[in-house]
Amino acid sequence: MRDFAYARAGTAEAAVGTLAAPRTAVIAGGTELLNWFRLGIAAADRVVDIGGLDELRGIARDGDELRIGALATLNEVGEHPLVTRLAGALASACLQAASAQVRNRATIGGNVLQRTRCPYFRAEEPLPWPCNKRDPGSGCASLAGRHERQAIFGWTQDCVAVQPSDPAVALAALDARADVLGPAGPRTIPMREFHLTQREAAAAGEPMRETRLGADELITGYRLPVSTAGQAYVKVRERASYEYAIVSAAAAVRLAESAGGPRAAGAGEQRIAAARVALGSVAQRPWRLTAAEAELPGTPLTREALLPVIERAMADAVPLPQNGFKVTMARNAAVRALLAAGGAA
């Protein structure tokens, strides 16, 4: 155990001010940061607690937007009537994350910043194997070792890890934006761009960077556009509780109008008017299937019609020797999410 100084921030601006000092960490729910300290993933000389900042709490509708404070816990988000009604995929993603006990502490602001669950990365120090995230330049043990749960998009020879957050996938699919506060003031980051794949990070000259959030910035909340589209989140995992996704998919579907309404019984074959779909645990960021989204309007809401659309959108997947099954699994999860969002599951 390493000693560190502890302080409670009085305002979000005060918390941001402390981040200018090196080796300063922010704590909210603490469900991830304390694990980093225990494993040696991170060390801090100062820890700033933002858990008492009421300005970062709350869930409310503001015109055509749903606003969610960064300190809202996963259970608060998942069970809030506004979220279940207006952002059902996000509610479902929050309630399928972790366990009920962890969800009572974990915040939605911290959840999207969690690190990969790669077992080579999550080992206690001193590491018995190379890991570029822990020891830059040492190599990636997973690349030549076990990688059945690793990336099928956007990976490089330096790292093949995936981002494990469930809410991040739904936020990306729903075109949410993160409100961020830094020394220069507030700004927003679209959640579909918030995380970086290894390839994107390498192209920017920072191969181990994982998000667009600056080291001196703080997530203060999220804004989601209000939509009447049906939504769903599908999580494929080895057990039904306290387990990370092998793959996941979030979808929002608006059906084409028919004479009796978009879901009228006996109105004939349902067709998609517009759709959004994102995959989780297939890359170091939620993976929007933009090619599928462009092709889906006019497509019948049937498994047979959806499968080839999703397959074409995933044609650029590059699986590793042990995780080719994730291509099929992710394809099927996307189809299931679209069918559920459209009311056909």
Burial class (CB in 10 A: 0-12, 13-18, 19+), 323: buried
Q: Over 90: is that where the pLDDT of 277 sits?
A: yes
pLDDT attached to residue 260: 54
Q: Over 80: is that where the pLDDT of 32 sits?
A: yes
For residue 218, what are the CA distances in angstroms to 75, 102, 172, 189, 243?
A: 21, 22, 19, 12, 27
pLDDT attached to residue 72: 98
Stretch (H or E) spanning 75: helix 74-79
Domain 54-114+163-225 is of which CATH architecture?
2-Layer Sandwich (3.30)
- Token look-up 């509610």 returns 91
pLDDT tens across 46-103, in order?
A: 999 999 999 999 999 999 999 999 999 999 999 999 999 999 999 999 999 999 999 9
- Token look-up 């494929």 returns 236
pLDDT attached to residue 345: 79
Strand 185-190 and strand 218-225: the pairing is unpaired
Mean pLDDT confidence for 181-202: 98
Q: Over 70: is that where the pLDDT of 268 sits?
A: no
Spatial separation of the C-alpha atoms in residues 100 and 88, rounded to whole Å: 18
The ranges assigned to domains in the chain are 54-114+163-225, 230-341
Mean pLDDT of the residues in the chain: 96
CB 72 within 8 A of CB 50: no
CATH code of the region 230-341: 3.30.390.50
pLDDT tens across 219-247, in order?
A: 999 999 999 999 999 999 999 988 999 99
Portion of the chain with pLDDT greater than 90, in percent: 94
Residue 137 binned pLDDT confidence (cut-offs 50, 70, 90): very high
Residue 265 binned pLDDT confidence (cut-offs 50, 70, 90): very low
Burial class (CB in 10 A: 0-12, 13-18, 19+), 129: middle
Provide the token pair at 186.
């507030």
Do the domains at 54-114+163-225 and 230-341 have one common CATH topology?
no
pLDDT tens across 292-321, in order?
A: 999 999 999 999 999 999 999 999 999 999
pLDDT attached to residue 266: 45
